[in-house]
Amino acid sequence: MTSSVIKNEEANYVINPKKFVLWLLIVASVMLFAGFTSAYIVRRGEGNWEIFNLPSLFAVNTLLIILSSLFIQLSYTAAKKDQMARIKSFIGIAFLLGIGFCFGQYYAWKQLIADNVFFAFSNPSNSFVYVISGVHLFHVIAGLVFMAIMLIQSFQNKIHKTALLYLNMCITYWHFIGILWIYLYLFLYLYR
Give the domains, in start order, of the chain with CATH numbers.
3-190 (1.20.120.80)
Which one, of 101, 13, 112, lies nearest residue 65 by Cα? Answer: 101
Condensed to tens digits (0 to 9), the pLDDT of residues 32-42 reads 999 999 999 99
Condensed to tens digits (0 to 9), the pLDDT of residues 26-78 reads 999 999 999 999 999 999 888 778 888 999 999 999 999 999 999 999 999 99
